[in-house]
């Protein structure tokens, strides 16, 4: 199930990159590399990876490990709550407090119970909940936001919002680290196709993924035929050509350190 979700996410990222580049890519699922891409000019193998900021542990960003853990726990809590309160299935919920495994579920259940009682309110912001004695326990506003009639959303109906993105971080080294790691597997990728490419995506829904690269940065792409860096949904830079394509008008120059000062 987890692998299926990851594959779907990778397909969505590849489709976005193709749209930004203005190319038609037909994807065939594969492993090492992730996809064989059919185009009018021929086929190529495409490996997909994501770029994150911060420290890394066992090959993965510590920040994104934490975000994924919290999101997985939130999904587990949602499944429990759906069994108990089936009427909340269409609702969206944003959890915006510091994460503490000991009381997150208690707070969310209390918020749902309050939102159910308050039938007239479609958007419900929770600042307090009752403990086991019935006494109100204050929370800083806002900590839990429930929308009973949400607009169509991207991704999970329940989100841990604590890690949502601020300004983009310019980090060409993180991009290069992704290439360094994947370059070790180029011989395996070439067993599927001689033309082997890498897509490195930075998806700024969360702060740990809000990475841009320095304007004019030239990475070492090793023996990859092409490497693409995508700051979704803004731009894609293709290497070694350095070609920049943008859907939104925002390019690496817009996110550079000098521009943000």
Q: Output the pLDDT for position 139.
A: 44
pTM for the predicted model, two decimal places? 0.61
Instruction: Give yes or no: residues 156 and 248 share one domain.
Output: no
Judgement on whether residues 76 and 135 belong to the same structural domain of the protein:
yes
Domain end: 128, 163, 198, which one?
163
> Do 119 and 94 touch, CB atoms closer than 8 A?
no
CA dist 207 and 11 (Å) reads 22
Give tens-digit pLDDT for 96-150.
777 888 888 988 998 899 889 887 666 666 654 444 455 544 444 457 878 887 6
The predicted pLDDT at position 224 comes to: 98
**Do 28 and 93 reside in the same domain of the chain?**
no
**Co-location of 146 and 94 in the same domain:** yes
Residues 68 and 146 in one domain: yes
At residue 82, the 3 state secondary structure works out as helix
220 in the same domain as 158: no
Q: How many helices (H) and strands (E) does the chain have?
A: 7, 17
- Which pLDDT score is estimated for 228? 98
By three-state DSSP, how is residue 63 classified?
helix
Indicate if 79 and 153 belong to the same structural domain.
yes
| Shared domain check, 177 and 132 | no
Rounded mean pLDDT, 220-236: 94
Kindly state whether residues 73 and 91 are assigned to the same domain.
Answer: yes
Burial of 87 (C-beta count, 10 Å sphere; 0-12/13-18/19+):
exposed
Q: Residue 207 sits in which domain range? A: 2-53+171-260
Q: Taking 70 as the threshold, does the pLDDT of residue 204 lie above it?
A: no
Residues 177-188 have pLDDT tens digits of 999 999 999 999
| Number of structural domains the chain divides into | 2
Sign of the dihedral through C-alpha 71, 72, 75, 80:
negative
Q: Are residues 196 and 70 in the same domain?
A: no
Statement: residue 58 has pLDDT above 70: no
Which domain-ending residue is among 105, 137, 163? 163
Contacts 24+ apart (CB under 8 A), 36-41: 36/192, 36/193, 37/197
Q: Is the domain of 66 the same as that of 37?
A: no
Residue that terminates a domain, selected from 123, 141, 163: 163
46 and 100 belong to one structural domain: no
pLDDT value, residue 130? 47
Average pLDDT over residues 1-17: 76
> What is the pLDDT, as a whole number, of residue 153?
43
DSSP 3-state of 256: coil
Q: 143 and 99 in contact (C-beta within 8 Å)? A: no
71's CB contacts (< 8 A; 6+ apart) are 156, 159, 160
């Amino acid at each position: 199930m987890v692998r299926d979700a990851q594959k779907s996410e990778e397909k969505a990222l590849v489709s976005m990159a193709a749209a930004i580049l203005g190319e038609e890519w037909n994807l065939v699922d594969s492993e090492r590399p992730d996809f064989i891409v059919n185009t009018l000019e021929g086929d190529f193998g495409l490996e997909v990876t994501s770029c994150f900021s911060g420290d890394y542990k066992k090959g993965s960003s510590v920040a994104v490990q934490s975000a994924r853990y919290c999101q997985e726990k939130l999904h587990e809590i949602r499944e429990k709550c759906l069994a108990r309160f089936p009427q909340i299935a269409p609702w969206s919920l944003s959890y915006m407090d510091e994460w503490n495994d000991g009381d997150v579920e208690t707070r969310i259940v209390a918020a749902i119970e309050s939102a159910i009682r308050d039938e007239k309110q479609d958007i419900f912001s929770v600042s307090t909940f009752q403990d086991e004695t019935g006494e109100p326990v204050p929370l800083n506003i806002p900590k839990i936001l429930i929308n009973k009639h949400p607009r169509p959303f991207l991704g999970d109906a329940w989100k841990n919002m604590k890690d949502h993105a601020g300004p983009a971080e310019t980090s060409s080294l993180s991009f290069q680290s992704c290439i360094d790691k994947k370059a070790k597997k180029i011989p395996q990728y070439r067993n599927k196709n001689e033309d082997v490419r890498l897509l490195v995506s930075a998806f700024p829904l969360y702060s740990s993924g809000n990475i841009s690269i320095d304007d004019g940065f030239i990475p070492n792409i090793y023996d990859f035929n092409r490497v693409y860096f995508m700051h979704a949904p803004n731009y894609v830079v293709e290497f070694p050509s350095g070609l920049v394509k943008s859907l939104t008008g925002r390019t690496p120059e817009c996110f550079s350190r000098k521009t943000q000062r």
